[in-house]
Amino acid sequence: MRFLAIGALVLVAGSPANAAPNPTEQSATAPTKGQTSSTAKKPDDFDLSQLTAMFDRLFPAQPDPPPQRLALSRTTVKALFPEGTYARMMTTMMNTMVDRFMNLSEADLAMGGKKGTPPDTTTMRQAMAKDDPHFDERMQIIQRVLTDEFTKFAAIIEPRIREGLARSLARRFNEKQLADINAFLATESGRAFGSQSMAMWLDTDVMRAVMQSMPDMMTAMPQVVKRIETETAHLPKPKPKPKPATTRRPPRRAK
């Protein structure tokens, strides 16, 4: 079944083995003593430091906000992003999506069947359980482990996100505005709003609204491309890239 491949990608993407690159692969830049050239890092291998440097250029460090505003914005963030929010958002979304996906079939995914046959109505869960009688128990263990491990990871990343949000708020709002916001967030309604403000962006209705907008965006793209072509028509065409040289193999000699 073709949709099994999609399910496999969901599970593999969420597995701890794929959560981060192998540290030994990141640090290996040249063959060390006793290391063969086949195990040494190749130029095109993943390099976390290069990725970090690229993001540093895309999102350069901003000036420090005024201390008074930063103090107020940190209070704001405590209400908008309470401790544990990131872990709850990510693990809830992950577990919900996996559970829902497991109950889908080829027919649900509108993938069609083999030529001349209707699409398979066997769910992902049923197909996996057919080959693995312990599939449900295995999935429960995997989801529990991923939830536990992601909660540990979230404890590291959450303070950084919280500080980033605080710095952003301190640049966007003045002291009076931040004080007004904090006054609202200190009320019963404000606390209720603050505790849900981030999670709402992953709500099913919000995600559905985003996905429902995709056909409109795809329909508009040809017109966008046409406009770009029209408005750049007066510019000389870019120079074509030279084709890489190909090495010809010598003709085989007849035996």
Q: What are 130-174's pLDDT values in tens digits? A: 989 899 999 899 989 988 998 898 889 999 999 999 999 999 999
The answer to the question of residue 246 being in a domain is no
Residue 147 gets the label, from left (phi > 0), alpha (psi -120 to 50) or beta, of alpha
Whole-structure pTM over 0.85, yes or no? no
**Phi and psi at residue 105, in whole multiples of 5°?**
-130, 175
**127 close to 4: Cβ distance less than 8 angstroms:** yes
The answer to the question of residue 144 being in a domain is yes
- The pLDDT of residue 27: 42
- Pinpoint the alpha helices (H) of the chain: 3-14, 23-27, 48-58, 67-80, 85-102, 124-131, 135-172, 175-185, 188-196, 204-231
Q: Name the band, by pLDDT with cuts 50, 70 and 90, for residue 201.
A: confident
What is the 3-state secondary structure of 122-140?
CEHHHHHHHHCCCHHHHHH
Cα-atom radius of gyration of the chain, to the nearest Å?
26
Look at residues 135, 40, 22, 153 and name the one whose alpha carbon lies nearest to residue 87.
Answer: 153
pLDDT in tens, 97-117: 888 888 898 888 766 556 667
What is the tally of structural domains in the chain? 1
The answer to the question of residue 159 being in a domain is yes
The answer to the question of residue 87 being in a domain is yes
Nearest 5°: CA angle at 202, between 105 and 215? Answer: 60
The answer to the question of residue 44 being in a domain is no
The answer to the question of residue 89 being in a domain is yes
Segment 194-220 mean pLDDT: 91
Q: Name the band, by pLDDT with cuts 50, 70 and 90, for residue 64.
A: very high
Task: Look up the domain containing 153 and give its range.
Answer: 66-98+134-212
What is the Cα–Cα distance from 223 to 189, expressed in whole angstroms? 45
Tokens 């049923």 correspond to: 126
Find all residues with CB under 8 Å of 121, minimum gap 6, and list them.
105, 106, 107
Say if residue 129's pLDDT is above 80.
yes
The answer to the question of residue 60 being in a domain is no
Looking at per-residue pLDDT, the higher value among 81 and 111 belongs to 81
Q: Which residues pair with 232 in a beta bridge?
A: none
The answer to the question of residue 177 being in a domain is yes
